[in-house]
Amino acid sequence: MTTPSNRTPPSTADSGSGSGSGACPGTSSDSGSAVQSDLVTYAREGDVSTITMDDGKVNVFSIPMLRAVHAAFDQAEQDGTVVVLTGRPGCFSAGFDLGTLRATPERAVELLRLGATLAERILSFPAPVVAACTGHAFPAGAFLLMAADTRVGADGPFKLGLNEVRIGLTLPWFAIVLARHRLTPAAFDRWTVTGLLTDPQGACAAGLLDDVVPPDALATSARAAADDLAGVDRTAHAATKLRVRARVLTELREAIETELA
C-alpha cells in the first residue's frame, strides 16, 4: 500500500528548452519523510522505490529538476530500497536546459555538475538502480541510462543517443567516460563523434539499453527487474559494484573535478 509523501519545492526556477526536440506526453510513498516536488515524485512500495521525473513537457534537466532527483536518491538511500528511475510517457529526458547552459558560466557549471554528480551517484549507488526509459533520451537523459545497473526501454518512435555535436556542444569529459564505460566500442565512437540518434532497438544493440518492451509493459518489466534485484545481498552488491567500477568511477570523478570545479 502506498501513502502520500511530503513535498519540497524546487529551490530555483529555470526556463528554457532542452538540448533536443520532440514532444513527450509520481505517485505516492509509504515513507513518511519521502521527497517530492512539482518535478519529481518519490514512491516507495516495499523494497522498491520509484523516482518519476515529470516536468509536464520534455523533462528538461534544469537545476531544480536535478536537485529534486538528488533529493529523491537521498530518500532512497535512507530507505535502503532498490530504485526504479523513470520519466513521463514518451520522454525519459530531453537533456540539459539550454537556457541555463547559455546563461552565465557559473550557472552552466552548476547545472553540468549536478548532472555529472547524479550520474556518478547512480553508478556507485549502494542499492541496485533500474532505469525505465519511457521514450526519448538524449543527450543528458542518456547519461543517466548509462549509469544505471539495468536499463529497460519502451519501444516506439523514440530517439536516444548523444547529439551534442549536432546542437553545437562539445561532449563533456564526464559524458565521454560514461559512454566509453557503457556503449559498445563501435557505438561509442560513432555516437559521440557524429551525434547519431537511434531508436530503442538500435540503443539496445549499442549497449545503452538492456531490453526493449512495449510501452504498456514497461512499468511491469521495470518493477519485475527491481523485485529480482531486491533479492541480491546488498552488502556484497555494493562492495562488488565499487570494485568492478573502480576505474570508471575514478575517471568520472577526475573529469568532474577537472572540468566542472
- Which CATH number does the domain 40-259 belong to among 3.40.50.720, 3.40.50.300, 3.40.1160.10, 3.90.226.10? 3.90.226.10
Tens of pLDDT along 17-61? 344 434 443 334 454 345 678 999 999 999 999 999 999 999 999
- pTM as predicted: 0.88
Average of pLDDT values for 212-240? Answer: 98
Element (H, E) at 144: helix 140-147
Q: Going by C-beta distance under 8 Å and a sequence separation of 6 or more, which residues neighbour residue 16? A: 60, 62, 97, 98, 99, 100, 102
pLDDT at 37: 87
Domain boundaries, the chain: 40-259
What is the percentage of the chain residues whose pLDDT exceeds 90?
Answer: 85
Give 1's contacts (C-beta < 8 A, 6+ positions apart): 30
For residue 74, what are the CA distances in angstroms to 35, 91, 111, 254?
9, 24, 19, 23
